Amino acid sequence: MFLNILLQSPSGAGPMQQLVMILMVVVIFYFFMMRPQMKKAKQEREFKDKVTKGDKVVTIGGVHGKVIEVSDSTLTLEIAEGVRVKIEKSAVSAEASRQFAPQEAKK
């Protein structure tokens, strides 16, 4: 019964006003949910394209390594002295040197 009261249109609200409200909800959803997600995906895609030899990276699985070789779709990481692993570029999660850089000593 209470739901019926809430769903009833106010006497002055016409279909145009309801359409405006629905459009406002869609716009708010876009700016607070979809746009930041697309921006983050674009940054990750750009990072994966810019990975170069010598970069320190972290894979999605949490493996830390140094990039030894870069090809179109794969990377060769050195994860320990003499231990090399070939992975897909899509498996790279972050750059270790930026993400885990030591903080400056507090004075």
pLDDT of amino acid 88: 93
| Residue extents of the structural domains in the chain | 14-50, 52-102
**pLDDT band for position 107 (cuts 50, 70, 90):** very low
pTM comes to 0.58
Task: Enumerate residues 6+ apart whose C-beta is below 8 A from 51.
Answer: 57, 67, 70, 75, 89, 92, 95
For residue range 22-49, what is the model confidence (pLDDT) as tens digits?
Answer: 999 999 999 999 999 999 989 888 888 8
> Three-state DSSP class for 60?
coil
Q: Give the CATH number of domain 52-102.
A: 2.30.30
Cα–Cα nearest to 84, from 63, 60, 61? 63
For residue range 68-101, what is the model confidence (pLDDT) as tens digits?
Answer: 999 988 999 999 999 999 999 989 987 766 554 4
> Three-state DSSP class for 69?
strand
